[in-house]
Amino acid sequence: MNKPAEIGIGSVVRDGLGKSVASLMIKVATAGLTYFMFVVLARSMGTEHYGHFAFGFSLATMLAIGASMGQQTAILRYWPEDMGKGDEAGAMNALKSGWALTLIASVVLSLMLCAAALVFGLVTADMGQVLHLFAASLLILPMAAGEYGSSALRAQGSVWTALLPRDVIWRSLVPGLVWLLFISGTSLGGSQALMLTAALLVLALVLQVVAARARNYRNAIGFSGLKVYWQKRGGASRWFLAGTVLDSAALNFDIVLVGLFVAVEASGLYFNAFRTAGLLTLFMFAITLVIAPMVARHYHAGEMRQAQAITAFCAWAGFLFSLVVFAGFVVFGEPILSLFGASYAEGYWVLIILSVGLLMDAATGPTRIVMMMTGHERQYVKIFGSIMLAGFVLQLVVIPLFGIVGAALVNAGARIVAQVAIAVWTRRHAGIDTSLFGLGALLPGRG
């Protein structure tokens, strides 16, 4: 085998491993703090108010992903691609235009949500029941900005500055302040908790901007080159947007439907089960934060074995971690859910069902990010989107009949089918096996 190629692969994996460990450290802290945040909110607010918070938080998350206009994915691809070509001006225009698009779309979607809440409140003659929707609109811009700002810094090789303010500082401030208010005799309603969450996220993002400037990372907004950028890369950006909206919907749409068709209290229970199940993909998510620009750089440079090495490492590391967490859920699922309150332990089977789907997600590896970074975003949206859309339609029938267990079964089933389909497509057409079997492509005599 070619020795220089082997050295190159080893260097790539070591670089990815070093940054992935740092990313994992932050994401482990993030997972713990996020869990603590939701536990504190659930215990201090009561089931109805927490249900309003869960509904509003999930809705704001989906809309914020839409508000980012796919630019959080675009910058991960275009910054390393342009800088690798020596086109610093193109990279900077991508960065500035991404910020401009995020700002414009966030304002538009926030106003649309406020208008919808106002109409609904007037029709029902009960504005008190839509206050959490108005509060959720305040979360859209900071959430979208946080997502894009983090991606822009990660595209430049940052880990700590990109992740620490939002993932650690914000998630520490929210439960800390909520608990202080609770022990002082103030229990927040759903809308109040959402507004507090938005205000503290803005503070964390200000700290991130200051830290980025101190470390000389590029970060600027500009509208002058927006037209040129959209003419050149608007087509791909639309597919990036569609892909990220689909991913967000796959994680949040069920919660919204449960709140609409079952009960707001059930929405909180399902929300907690889904957030808990999401811990399975913690390591996979931490790694993909690092490997996205690496995959883009090596793939577009024609260094396929290096790109395959990165994805194989990601798949195995993520799956082994997920398997251990899944075993923990099977044994300790009820005590874990009961941290939110005794009644939330009823979500045990929802947790297990959702976890099975996410375990398959880990086994098929970083399919989404590989397709996005290699220029196959359109195919990703078509394959993943068509399967998940069928699942969403099925949810409309299943949830009213079978409640949260039915919602979990459809979600897990659709996720398994979709992940297998896009993993097979990626191996055949992009030349990278993102699954656990991708390790075999690196063996002597292969590739």
pLDDT > 80? residue 290: no
Structure confidence at residue 287 (pLDDT): 77
Which of the four pLDDT bands, split at 50, 70 and 90, describes residue 23?
Answer: low
List the helix and strand counts (H, then E) for the chain: 15, 0
Q: Which of 164, 165, 175 is nearest to 36 (CA)?
A: 175
Which of the four pLDDT bands, split at 50, 70 and 90, describes residue 19?
Answer: low
Residues whose CB falls within 8 Å of the CB of residue 111, separated by 6 or more in sequence, listed in order: 137
Mean pLDDT of the 236-252 span: 77
Structure confidence at residue 307 (pLDDT): 85
pLDDT > 60? residue 20: no
pTM: 0.69
The pLDDT tens digits of the residues spanning 40-89 come to 888 888 888 888 898 899 889 889 988 988 898 889 888 988 887 889 99
Q: State how far the Cα of 391 lies from the Cα of 262, in Å rounded to an integer.
A: 18
pLDDT > 80? residue 234: yes
The pLDDT tens digits of the residues spanning 410-439 come to 999 999 999 999 999 999 998 999 999 988
The pLDDT tens digits of the residues spanning 393-411 come to 999 999 989 989 999 999 9
CA atoms in the 13 A half-sphere facing the CB of 307: 26
Which of the four pLDDT bands, split at 50, 70 and 90, describes residue 262?
Answer: confident
Q: List the alpha helices (DSSP H) in 129-183.
A: 131-155, 160-164, 171-183
pLDDT > 80? residue 338: yes
DSSP characters over 305-356 = HHHHHHHHHHHHHHHHHHHHHHHHHHHHHHHHHGGG-GGGGGGHHHHHHHHH
Q: Which of 415, 428, 298 is nearest to 357 (CA)?
A: 415
Q: Which of 147, 169, 177 is nearest to 70 (CA)?
A: 147
Torsion of CA 178, 58, 315, 170, to 10 degrees: -30
Placement of tokens 């610093």 in the chain: 88
pLDDT > 50? residue 113: yes
Q: Please check whether residue 343 is in contact with residue 331, taking contact to mean a CB–CB distance below 8 angstroms.
A: no
Q: State how far the Cα of 360 lies from the Cα of 210, in Å rounded to an integer.
A: 40
Average pLDDT, the chain: 86
Q: Please check whether residue 26 is in contact with residue 154, taking contact to mean a CB–CB distance below 8 angstroms.
A: no
Q: State how far the Cα of 208 lies from the Cα of 221, in Å rounded to an integer.
A: 15
Structure confidence at residue 10 (pLDDT): 54
Structure confidence at residue 1 (pLDDT): 39
Which is it for the CA torsion 19, 252, 320, 444, positive or negative?
A: negative
Share of the chain above pLDDT 70, in %: 93
Which of the four pLDDT bands, split at 50, 70 and 90, describes residue 6?
Answer: very low
The per-residue b/e assignment along 230-254, b for 16 or more CB within 10 angstroms, e otherwise, is bebbbebbbbbbbbbbbbbbbbbbb
pLDDT > 50? residue 3: no
The pLDDT tens digits of the residues spanning 89-98 come to 999 999 999 9
CA atoms in the 13 A half-sphere facing the CB of 285: 16
The pLDDT tens digits of the residues spanning 218-228 come to 989 999 999 99
Mean pLDDT of the 317-323 span: 91
The pLDDT tens digits of the residues spanning 98-109 come to 999 999 999 999
Q: Please check whether residue 229 is in contact with residue 97, taking contact to mean a CB–CB distance below 8 angstroms.
A: yes
Q: Retrieve residue 219's tokens.
A: 């970060």
Which of the four pLDDT bands, split at 50, 70 and 90, describes residue 2?
Answer: very low
Q: Please check whether residue 102 is in contact with residue 145, taking contact to mean a CB–CB distance below 8 angstroms.
A: yes
Q: Which long-range contacts link 299-306 to residues 24+ away (Cβ below 8 Å)?
A: 299/373, 299/374, 299/432, 300/81, 300/84, 300/374, 301/84, 303/8, 304/431, 304/432, 304/447, 305/5, 305/8, 305/9, 305/442, 305/447, 306/8, 306/9, 306/12
Which one has a higher pLDDT value, 141 or 128?
141
